[in-house]
């Protein structure tokens, strides 16, 4: 009987969660990836909060000195840090004490959620200061109470902004959060004026509902240092649910390392755009005190004209690197899509000193901002648009015409393959991203239908077409034509893509000879899931920076 009881006790401890009716302690991600194994625990002396900290704080302090403190408020202003626990645990494993509002949970539905008051963030600062001085406390002499950061996600960011006026706060981090012209949890545009220390904004791209407000805040802050680190595709939910808290945890830790630990090498991420470990982030920063501004690139609308004298709407991402001549990538979108499809790729390239031009094909979409009818469009008219763009950008004084590249997504990938075969000397590199080469392969099976030959036209996937779309494709040997291009080539697609994949990609890579092929695990067509888009973007950026 004793052996059974003892076995049950070991089972409870090995789960990483010790409890007596509710959770008191747990281990997350095996303690994190940092130098110090971390744990999450509750403390009787400070209720309704979770403390994320190194298990052996003494060892961490012996190596790093007293540990800086992060006080965290949650999304929705709720009293649970469960959605962010992997990120907060990761920060703790890097040598921090994190105090998060709300008692510990194992599941989000294991208790009723309530709103945390703003005052609890101030109480957390009071508590750690008291425990740091109390000789019988586990935290005695462990915390550096002169180095306190406040942060929060979404509504929690508003809470952090409110308490940032407290003189103990040395920096503030707004995760998927911004005030703009709204009021939330006692915070508003006026709260920005109370800032007295550096602030970091971490939105998740234009798909983040807080993005516009974060932009407005950043623009309005002109009295303290500020940085704007933008994950281009994560959205409002970030990526902190990934192992070790994803890239949001790495970015947050880098900022804290710089602001609270004085690590100037981490400051290079924010001041000099050292983003090698952040493939899908862009960066801006400014220091009004020193009069410095880090704005890595400029965005401007620049139109071209095709050979039919039709207007092509385009947007240029121009690096502000001071170099007279820059490589440039032309990025072609997919069927019934727009320049938006390639914005993340363009911004990432511009961050790394490569100019990028995104545009709408003439007649390439129902809502195209360029001229032309969809019934006049084919992949060959789109290839002609590319040729006209090449002629135009080659004349721009800042462009090194010997370092042009062409990138195409989906149908744009097929267009890129055609265009580069028609003018093989124009491009130093070609990148096909989830290319829909099957459009050319299947044309012969589709074309004979009477509906397609009819002058009335037909509709495919919500876009009106005519026989123009298929006429020249019948009998077109795409893989033979691709052999005409002899430059550097890369193909990127996902292993879950029903359109670009399998035999087509193998034949394409053989057509290009020494073509580099990267398959994204779990990637669907278009890489709609942020983690797969990040991986694809990383492949693209590394290939182009290496070869341009």
| 86 shares a domain with 67 | yes
pLDDT at 226: 98
Q: Which of 404, 398, 399, 401 is nearest to 428 (CA)?
A: 404
Q: Give the tens place of pLDDT for each residue, 144-174.
A: 999 999 999 999 999 999 999 999 999 999 9
Domain's final residue, options 294, 311, 344: 294
Residue 164 DSSP code = T
In this structure, is residue 6 part of a structural domain? Answer: no
In this structure, is residue 420 part of a structural domain? Answer: yes
- Biggest alpha carbon distance in the chain? 89
pLDDT at 451: 53
In this structure, is residue 14 part of a structural domain? Answer: no
| 303 shares a domain with 436 | yes
CA distance 157 to 238: 14
In this structure, is residue 19 part of a structural domain? Answer: no
In this structure, is residue 143 part of a structural domain? Answer: yes
| 290 shares a domain with 397 | no
Strand order in the sheet with 355-359: 297-301, 314-319, 355-359, 326-332, 399-409, 429-433, 488-494, 516-520
- 191 close to 152: Cβ distance less than 8 angstroms: no
Structural domains of the chain, count: 2
Q: Give the tens place of pLDDT for each residue, 222-241.
A: 999 999 999 999 999 999 99
| 217 shares a domain with 311 | no
In this structure, is residue 302 part of a structural domain? Answer: yes
| 345 shares a domain with 263 | no
| 247 shares a domain with 98 | yes
38's CB contacts (< 8 A; 6+ apart) are 28, 31, 32, 52, 53, 54, 55, 89, 90, 92, 93
Positions in the chain short of pLDDT 70: 1-23, 443-456
pTM, 2 dp: 0.91
Domain's final residue, options 294, 325, 347: 294
Domain's final residue, options 261, 294, 327: 294
| 306 shares a domain with 287 | no
In this structure, is residue 221 part of a structural domain? Answer: yes
| 368 shares a domain with 332 | yes
Sign, Cα dihedral of 389, 395, 399, 404 = positive
| 305 shares a domain with 287 | no
In this structure, is residue 153 part of a structural domain? Answer: yes
pLDDT at 460: 86
Looking up residue 114, the CATH number of its domain turns out to be: 3.40.50.1820
Dihedral angle computed from the Cα positions of residues 287, 291, 296 and 300, in that order, rounded to the nearest 10 degrees? 120
Q: Which of 271, 230, 200, 256 is nearest to 34 (CA)?
A: 256
Q: Which domain holds residue 511?
A: 297-547
- Give the tokens for residue 516: 């580099």
| 310 shares a domain with 257 | no
| 323 shares a domain with 290 | no
| 290 shares a domain with 326 | no
């Amino acid at each position: 009987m004793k052996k059974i009881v003892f076995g049950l006790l070991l089972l409870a401890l090995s789960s990483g969660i010790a409890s007596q009716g509710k959770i008191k302690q747990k281990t997350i991600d095996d303690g994190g990836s940092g130098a110090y194994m971390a744990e999450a625990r509750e403390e009787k002396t400070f209720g309704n909060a979770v403390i994320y900290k190194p298990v052996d704080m003494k060892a961490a302090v012996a190596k790093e000195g007293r540990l800086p403190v992060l006080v965290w408020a949650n999304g929705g202003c709720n009293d649970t840090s469960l959605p962010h626990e992997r990120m907060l645990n990761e920060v703790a494993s890097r040598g921090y004490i994190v105090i998060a509002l709300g008692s510990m949970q194992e599941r989000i539905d294991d208790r009723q959620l309530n709103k945390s008051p703003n005052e609890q963030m101030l109480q957390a600062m009071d508590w750690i200061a008291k425990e740091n001085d109390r000789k019988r406390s586990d935290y005695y002499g462990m915390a550096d109470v002169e180095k306190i950061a406040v942060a929060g996600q979404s509504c929690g960011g508003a809470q952090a902004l409110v308490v940032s006026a407290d003189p103990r706060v040395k920096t503030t981090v707004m995760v998927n959060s911004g005030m703009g012209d709204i009021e939330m949890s006692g915070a508003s545009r006026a709260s920005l004026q109370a800032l007295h220390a550096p602030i970091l904004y971490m939105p998740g791209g234009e798909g983040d509902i807080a993005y516009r407000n974060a932009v407005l805040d950043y623009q309005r802050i002109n009295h303290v240092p500020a940085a704007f680190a933008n994950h281009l595709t994560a959205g409002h939910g970030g990526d902190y649910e990934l192992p070790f808290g994803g890239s949001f945890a790495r970015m947050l830790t880098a900022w804290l390392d710089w602001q609270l630990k004085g690590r100037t090498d981490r400051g290079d991420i924010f001041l000099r755009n050292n983003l090698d470990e952040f493939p899908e982030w862009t960066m801006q920063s400014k220091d009004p005190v020193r009069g410095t501004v880090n704005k890595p690139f400029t965005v401007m609308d620049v139109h071209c004209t095709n050979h039919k004298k039709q207007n092509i709407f385009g947007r240029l991402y121009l690096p502000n690197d001071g170099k007279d001549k820059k490589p440039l990538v032309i990025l072609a979108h997919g069927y019934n899509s727009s320049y938006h499809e390639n914005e993340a790729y363009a911004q990432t390239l511009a961050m790394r000193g490569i100019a990028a031009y995104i545009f709408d094909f003439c007649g390439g979409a129902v809502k195209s901002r360029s001229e032309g009818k969809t019934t006049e469009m084919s992949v060959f008219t789109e290839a002609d648009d590319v040729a006209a763009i090449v002629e135009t950008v080659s004349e721009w004084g800042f462009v090194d015409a010997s370092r042009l590249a062409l990138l195409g997504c989906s149908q744009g990938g097929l267009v890129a393959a055609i265009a580069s075969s028609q003018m093989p000397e124009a491009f130093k590199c070609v990148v096909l991203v989830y290319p829909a080469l099957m459009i050319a392969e299947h044309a012969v099976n589709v074309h004979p239908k009477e509906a397609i030959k009819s002058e009335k036209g037909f509709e495919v996937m919500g876009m009106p077409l005519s026989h123009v779309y298929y006429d020249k494709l019948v009998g077109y040997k795409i893989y033979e034509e691709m052999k005409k291009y002899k430059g550097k080539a890369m193909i990127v697609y996902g292993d879950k893509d029903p359109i670009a994949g399998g035999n087509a990609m193998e034949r394409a890579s053989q057509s290009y000879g020494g073509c580099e092929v990267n398959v994204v695990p779990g990637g669907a067509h278009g890489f709609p899931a942020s983690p797969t888009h990040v991986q694809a973007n990383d492949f693209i950026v590394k290939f182009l920076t290496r070869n341009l």
